């Protein structure tokens, strides 16, 4: 699915960074940043332009090839890794920032991944997340997992507080906002936004 979606480069989600990431990027301390489920690299390239050493991980080689092209066009370095987040090793105390934008996955994958993120952040490191909440299921076609069978892939502030135990949550809230990100994220949306730090 994802290789097909990224075959028309940047039609899916565009080339500009996520609005929430842009808003909070100053809070990410200097150092290496890991972008999860990074797709075509719009967020990773934005962070590289801010001076971070960025690694983007995704299961789609097509998406990451587009990301590498965008980084080259913008004149910034970018490391890409084709991997499944079910078994990708994030390391220990390695990252100054970890970014998870629209990384929807089943709870049995997401929970261990978020626990790994807590371990993988350096002291003072930042975790940034935006995801659709279950309320988005009532807005078909505007973004997020499209069927009720995929509701568990959506996230809530309450669930994320549990999954991110060990981080200091500066923001963890549900918001209603309009999104304009390429073909697949358009219009009124209910999301959860997280900015958290490793004590």
Residue 174: C-alpha distances to residues 25, 132, 160 (Å): 19, 9, 11
132 is in which domain, residue-wise? Answer: 2-197
The pLDDT tens digits for 146-179 are: 677 788 899 999 999 999 999 999 999 999 999 9
Closest CA to 159 of 132, 189, 141: 132
* Residue 145 clears pLDDT 90, i.e. is over it: no
Give the pLDDT confidence score for residue 142 in this predicted structure: 65
Closest CA to 58 of 108, 12, 94: 12
Coil/strand/helix, residue 91: coil
CATH number (domain holding residue 120): 3.40.50.150
What value does the CA radius of gyration of the chain take, rounded to a whole number of Å?
A: 15
Tell me the whole-structure pTM to 2 decimals: 0.94
Residue 88: C-alpha distances to residues 32, 56, 58, 81, 113 (Å): 17, 12, 10, 10, 9
- Does residue 37 come out as left (phi exceeding 0), alpha (psi in the -120 to 50 range) or beta? left
The pLDDT tens digits for 71-83 are: 999 999 999 999 9
The count of domains in the chain is 1
């Amino acid at each position: 699915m994802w290789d097909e979606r990224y075959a028309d480069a940047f039609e899916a989600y565009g080339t500009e960074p996520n609005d929430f990431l842009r808003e909070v990027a100053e809070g990410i301390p200097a150092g290496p940043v890991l972008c999860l489920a990074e797709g075509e690299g719009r967020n990773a390239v934005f962070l590289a332009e801010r001076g971070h050493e960025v690694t983007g991980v995704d299961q789609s080689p097509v998406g990451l090839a587009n990301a590498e092209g965008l980084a080259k066009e913008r004149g910034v370095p970018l490391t890409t890794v084709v991997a499944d987040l079910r078994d990708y090793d994030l390391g220990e105390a390695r990252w100054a920032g970890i970014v998870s934008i629209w990384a929807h996955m089943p709870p049995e994958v997401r929970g261990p991944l978020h626990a790994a993120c807590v371990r993988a952040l350096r002291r003072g490191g930042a975790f940034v997340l935006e995801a659709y909440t279950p309320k988005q299921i009532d807005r078909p076609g505007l973004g997020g997992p499209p069927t009720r069978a995929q509701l568990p892939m959506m996230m809530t502030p309450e669930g994320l507080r549990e999954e991110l135990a060990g981080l200091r949550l500066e923001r963890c809230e549900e918001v209603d906002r309009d999104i304009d990100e390429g073909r697949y994220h358009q219009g009124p949306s209910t999301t959860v936004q997280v900015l958290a730090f490793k004590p």
